[in-house]
Amino acid sequence: MESGAGKKERGGKESAGRGLTAPPSGATNRSSGGGCAAAAAIGRAGGRGGASRRRLSRSAEPTAARHAGGGVWPRRHAHTPAPAPGPAPSPGERRRAASGMAVWTRACKAGLLELLLRERWVRVAAELSGEALSLTAEPGGGEAAVLNGVVNGNAEAAPGCVRRVRVVKAEAGGLGISIKGGRENRMPVLISRIFPGLAAERSGALRLGDAILAVNGVDLRDATHDQAVQALKRAGREVILEVKFMREVTPYIKKPSLVSDLPWEGAAPQSPSLSGSEDSGSPQHQGPRDRKVIPLKMCFAARNLSMPDLENRLIELHSPDSRNTLILRCKDTATAHSWFTALHANITALLPQVLAELNAMLGTGGAAAGGREVKHIAWLAEQARLDGGRQQWRPVLMAVTEKDLLLYDGMPWTRDAWASPCHSYPLVATRLVHSGSGRRSPSLGSELTFATRTGSRQGVEMHVFRVETHRDLSSWTRVLVQGCHAAAELIKEVNVGCTLGGQEVQLSIHYEGGFTICREEPGGSVLFRYPYERLKMSADDGIRTLYLDFGGPEGELALDLHSCPKPIVFILHTFLSAKVTRMGLLA
């Protein structure tokens, strides 16, 4: 049987004491102590002779805990710092806290940040309120803003001065500029874009609005657009450019517009969208206030997730449908931490409102929702395995109801979307097997992760998740452990048909009553009935057989479940864990 302690195999050993790997096919997991210790503790505490409840001994406690498996001991999270005390909560906040939802204070913040827009950094004025993040393009942001760490590529260039710029291309990658204009447009050949990380940007000597007069001695003053493109392509690895900054033509270079270039579902445009081709000769003018408002409800604020952040200055904001990502850059690490903390707090403070809207939409308690109230929902990152064994983190939305754990790619705003999760797992067959600091990250320090395992007909399914804060880790640990235990008390009993000694029987495991094996027929007679405290040993082969030994004269019972035994094994663990916790046996 799946167990955290005392495991043995027929024909080999298994190093799954922490419950992080599934047993090899055909192997039998022996549990000669874990389940017995938990079951025996239940019997000692409340079963025989009216004995009063008492705590497990120091020697038996870890064994029972590992077998119970439905959750992680609270004392394992002693390293998680408790939130600092704040103002006294309101009655509504007290109700949310009692239901497991953290109470957060919303933050307000304003300052200058940089936004990654059309592959370059644009300075914006950011204003954070309780429910939205507003981004307003700074006046002259496309002309005098700090882009990619360089003030328009060259802070010392003056209009009218011809400059010779040497640019050396890397082995991989081109010159790294886009041009517009040419003789047919009655314009000089102008640099309209400088791509971050490529040769032109690294030189630090070119700027938007520079007219290219010559390339390696080839005069371009009267060149068409295509002639200029071909001259740049033939230039080779080392390129000598003669350029002159022409301030009078800068209106012809389209400045980035937050409204037209920053897609975001649910954010209404507040300035007119700009149109026109990048290579057209007509000027495009920005409105007086180019502004974007990002509603925070069900957004995902993250660090170092979709874009490397070696300087620890970036903040990622993912849209509720997970289709759009906004990248903000701060001036230093401390500023980035301050902005991220404020964003994360405001998003979290909106979760009670989201839960109320979800449950109202689902009609919790009615037939449409199956009587399964949504208890918790939030974004986190899931570890995904790529080809070649590589791993990466991807955003995933996790929801916990009274009975199930659900995973979505985007926020399910409708009933149809809610009814179609990417994955659905019964809580009673799921357990938390790890919660704490993970591998080191170069920019974030120690990652905060937890893992879940679910017993299914395909075997054991495992997921590893990453959260952004210690408070998130504590919250998810509590939600999952308590949710599994509550699901056990709600479901009460599971039944499965199986074969024992050549005859068809039914195995029933009741949350209160223990184990019953009876003949599979109407009014079938009871063959065996045992309480939890009689369980001496449990095991499974990972394929179809469950072994139970109650110390009776019948000896070990080998039950052929006709399918993978992992679901029933995990349910048994959850029942035991919930009973041990309810009886106050956990230290």
Question: Mean pLDDT in the chain?
Answer: 76
C-beta separation of 301 from 327 below 8 A: no
Q: Which of 227-236, 283-292, 481-490, 536-545 has the lowest mean pLDDT?
A: 283-292
415 band by pLDDT with thresholds 50, 70 and 90? very high
pLDDT exceeds 70 at position 79: no
User: How far is residue 209's CA from residue 295's CA, in Å, rounded to a whole number?
Assistant: 35
pLDDT exceeds 80 at position 332: yes
C-beta separation of 192 from 253 below 8 A: yes
C-beta separation of 358 from 377 below 8 A: yes
Q: What is the pLDDT of residues 561-580, one digit of tens each?
A: 999 999 999 999 999 999 98
CA angle 565, 11, 9 (to 5 degrees): 45
Question: Which value, in Å, is the radius of gyration of the alpha carbons in the chain?
Answer: 31
434 band by pLDDT with thresholds 50, 70 and 90? confident
pLDDT exceeds 50 at position 435: yes
**DSSP SS3 for 409:** coil
pLDDT exceeds 70 at position 263: yes
Q: Which of 24-38, 188-202, 231-245, 491-505 has the lowest mean pLDDT?
A: 24-38
Please tell me which residue, 138 or 15, carries the higher pLDDT value.
138
Q: What is the pLDDT of residues 198-221, one digit of tens each?
A: 888 888 889 888 999 999 999 999
DSSP assignment of 110-152, as one string?
Answer: EEEEEEEETTEEEEEEEEE-SSEEEEEEPTTHHHHSEETTEET
Q: Which of 71-85, 290-304, 487-501 has the lowest mean pLDDT?
A: 71-85
Please state the rounded mean pLDDT for residues 131-141.
Answer: 80
pLDDT exceeds 80 at position 559: yes
pLDDT of the residue at 209: 84
User: How far is residue 455's CA from residue 223's CA, in Å, rounded to a whole number?
Assistant: 69
pLDDT exceeds 50 at position 65: no
Among all chains, which residue has been given the structure tokens 């080809």? Answer: 387
pLDDT exceeds 90 at position 556: yes
pLDDT of the residue at 58: 32
Please state the rounded mean pLDDT for residues 490-508.
Answer: 94
The pTM (predicted TM-score) of the whole model is 0.67
Please state the rounded mean pLDDT for residues 44-48.
Answer: 50
pLDDT exceeds 70 at position 315: yes
Contacts of 415 (CB under 8 A, 6+ apart): 361, 362, 368
42 band by pLDDT with thresholds 50, 70 and 90? low
Q: Which of 276-280, 488-492, 544-548 has the lowest mean pLDDT?
A: 276-280
pLDDT of the residue at 287: 43
pLDDT of the residue at 36: 59
With a pLDDT cut of 70, the percent of the chain lying above it is 68
Please tell me which residue, 108 or 43, carries the higher pLDDT value.
108
User: How far is residue 165's CA from residue 210's CA, in Å, rounded to a whole number?
Assistant: 11
Among all chains, which residue has been given the structure tokens 């919250």? Answer: 475
Q: List the helix and strand counts (H, then E) for the chain.
A: 12, 31
Contacts of 160 (CB under 8 A, 6+ apart): 244, 245
364 band by pLDDT with thresholds 50, 70 and 90? low
